[in-house]
Amino acid sequence: HVNITTLPQDIGESLKDFKEEWGNLAKEIRSSNEWKEMSINSSNIPPIVHQRKTIYKVLTFGESQDIPIGTSDVSKVEIKAHLQIKSSHSKKTLATLCLLIGNICSERGEVNVSSILRKKNNLDNLNYIKMDVTNDYESLKRQIKTRNIDFYIKLIVAGKFVVIRRYTIILSHKRNKRSSWSGFKEYSIPYEYLMPDYDQHECCGGCQSGCSPVAWAQIFAYYDRVAHTYGYRYSTSHWRGKYGNSGYASYKAPGYLNWQAKRYVESLRVPLGTYCRGEIGSTPVKNYVNVEEWFRQRQGSGRVISLSLSNIKQQVSNYVKQNYPVLNSIWYYSSDGSKVGHGVVVTKVKERKRQYKRCRTVGLWMNIRTKCGWNTEYDYEWYRRMGWGGSQNKWYPASAKGAYVAVV
């Protein structure tokens, strides 16, 4: 149903949300090393060697790399391999490079596109070239006099624009046959099965109880259940009495939403300042840490921490490794397409890493030189308890507009 009267306002608000979401996505992509490894020029100009920062994708022996070249007529795509820095041994090094990447290019670096062309039918007939780094290091080691070779692949598309993809082959890691990304390592809070799956319920003036009270209720109930079951770390007083917030420490928190859990969730609405916004229970983000006194009264000590947005993904991962569940504040789109904030509980994390080479120019005038170093990039996935009675609990790509943890 469309309300014609408010339609312009609704469109304006939706457009604002779209622009914000698109801007955040663009910022995340531009900051990724995958994006920085590539540059696009409007004319046939070689890449600048002495630009301030250059990112190279790391390739190792036995690795395969797919380079997309679009869906257009590939006969108009020219490809050539270049050494990033010229030297007196450039011709020999370029010939060695061509052998290293599967003998796909000539001694001058020209690549025969048709010989290495592939097509991915499930991606709208996307054309790509397949570059395989040889596994046969032994036969080439006498020709290699350096620890790594920096090079770039230049794709000239229809004579209109140039795409540059930068790579470095690590020659010192002779036995390292893994891909650029390592395999995922998984970490979990202890006794993760004791984390309850509560849900929102209607209360307190006719709206839903709110995701933040539910998320904190799940975390504190988990602490209580772990303490009662294993005597681990936490106090048995997090769930006191059959009403959930007063009485004896002998009461153990339930693993599902019953009337006791509902009373507990409703009690948490008070310090959190949760209020009814239409049919939704809404909690101001600044109030997420206001449960610290509630937590301290039951644990006897401890604090509630709001994690800094700087490097927040690594912080969440670190706290899970320290055996703490984390309240993760996220954006999601509801069934009607509106953008809504939501609080969930992260109980498990997966992380992987890869190396990349970063070079920068230092010095002035005649003393300009290139300084390179190796860095590590991390990628994360989080297992989220969504606070919907167990529905949609699963692994998600890591994202956060906020994160909070109650530590002893």
**139 pLDDT band (50/70/90 cuts)?**
low
CATH code: domain of residue 358: 3.90.70
pLDDT at 119 over 70: no
Within this chain, do residues 166 and 192 fall inside the same structural domain, yes or no?
no
Q: Give the range among 41-50, 144-153, 244-253 with minimum mean pLDDT.
A: 41-50
Q: What is the pLDDT of residue 176?
A: 38
Q: Quick check: is 106 in a domain? A: yes
Q: Please indicate, yes or no, whether residues 146 and 243 belong to a single structural domain of this protein.
A: no
pLDDT at res. 58: 77
- Select the highest-mean-pLDDT range: 73-87, 105-119, 318-332: 318-332
Chosen domain end from 175, 197, 214: 175
CA distance 227 to 296: 15
Confidence of residue 129 (pLDDT cuts 50, 70, 90): confident
Residue 23 predicted with pLDDT over 60: yes
Where is pLDDT greater, at 353 or 30? Answer: 353
Task: List residues bridging with 349 in a β-sheet.
Answer: 187, 382
Q: Tell whether the model's pLDDT for residue 68 goes beyond 80.
A: no
pLDDT at 316: 95
* 312 and 218 assigned to the same domain: yes
Residue 70: φ, ψ to 5°: 90, -175
Distance, in Å, from the CA atom of 108 to the CA atom of 149, rounded to the nearest integer, reads 16
Same domain? For 316 and 383 the reply is: yes
Same-domain status, 159 and 306: no
In a domain, residue 112? The reply is: yes
Q: What is the mean pLDDT of the chain?
A: 77
Query: Do both 74 and 192 map to the same domain?
Result: no
Does one domain contain both 229 and 347?
yes
Whether the Cβ atoms of residue 279 and residue 206 lie closer than 8 Å to each other = yes
Q: Do 213 and 258 belong together in one domain?
A: yes
Please give the C-alpha separations between residue 347 and each of 118, 174, 248, 311, in angstroms, as whole numbers: 41, 38, 28, 19
With a cut of 50, say whether residue 292 has pLDDT above it. yes
How large is the average pLDDT for residues 314-331?
94
Looking at residue 153, its pLDDT comes to 78
Q: Looking at residues 240-250, what average pLDDT do you find?
A: 69
More confident position, 134 or 406:
406
Which of 153, 175, 197 terminates a domain? The answer is: 175
Q: What is the CATH number of the domain that holds 79?
A: 2.60.40
Between 135 and 327, residue with greater pLDDT: 327
Query: Do 291 and 152 belong together in one domain?
Result: no
Rounded CA gap, 216 and 232, in Å? 19
- pLDDT of the residue at 355: 73
State yes or no: pLDDT of 35 exceeds 50.
no
More confident: 339 or 143: 339
The Cα angle at residue 66 between residues 65 and 69, in degrees rounded to 5: 140
pLDDT value at position 96? 78
In angstroms, the CA 257 to CA 130 distance is: 53
One domain, residues 171 and 197 = no
Count CA atoms closer than 13 A to 271's CA, side-chain side: 16
Is 99 within a domain? yes
Domain membership flag for residue 4: no
Confidence of residue 147 (pLDDT cuts 50, 70, 90): low
> What are 339-389's pLDDT values in tens digits?
788 999 999 999 988 777 676 667 776 676 667 777 788 889 999 999 999
* Chosen domain end from 145, 175, 205: 175
Q: Domain tally for the chain?
A: 2
Residues 89-104 pLDDT 10s: 677 777 777 778 777 7
Query: Is 26 inside a domain boundary?
Result: no
Confidence of residue 81 (pLDDT cuts 50, 70, 90): low
Exposed/middle/buried for residue 145 (C-beta within 10 Å: 0-12, 13-18, 19+): exposed
Residue span of the structural domain in which 119 resides: 51-175
Same domain, 331 and 279: yes
- Do residues 160 and 251 both lie within one domain? no
